Structure 1
């Protein structure tokens, strides 16, 4: 078998710039945090701030806000094809900052009883998932 015919077996790493471009293409990801020392994962709509921060909104009195305020959290987003298993995944690690949303801020973040959660990227990693061999996802 020639080298170009060998199916990829490892995930290809992405650089930070590629990761940020991919994050900008999907509207929903998952925030990963802890509650009473146990891992928790919650889907969340988000968008990227001008500085590359991941911006979420949440109910001010929610368990999520209590758990993440000032904590180190992870945020993951990606896409995977249902037909061949190919895709990508990007993870952002950073401190979560919870704040009231200023009036001049993006209307997407505003809402009654809502606060913003900003995750400033400290570590950004990403991988490309190769297509599975034919017939095996």
Structure 2
């Protein structure tokens, strides 16, 4: 029995090692009482290995802050607001309305679970059929 467990452990290490270069994904999510939606994925950031959680988290945090102007949904990037890009993406996935929801920043490393960076949007997100709107409480 010990030989089987040892063989499986060696196989598991060999499999993970053969998967190639380490990678780190950065994405923004909106939570609701019934679902969690990825609303925007930023470009992957380079990391040195699949054990570098702080490296992945820090690089994603830097990317979120640079690409969204510190998670400001009303900041303009390439002629549209950060929130508009998010609302358009949600609309393309048949999510037509979002009201009073904060956007949260997460990172994923080498196929592991999504982990919270500690960043949230400065404002709440409100989308009406793909259009970024000001939220009314």
TM range (shorter): 0.3 to 0.5
For normalisation by structure 1, the TM-score amounts to 0.33
Give 1 or 2: higher helix fraction. 2
Q: Which has the higher strand share?
A: 1
Greater Rg, structure 1 or structure 2? 2
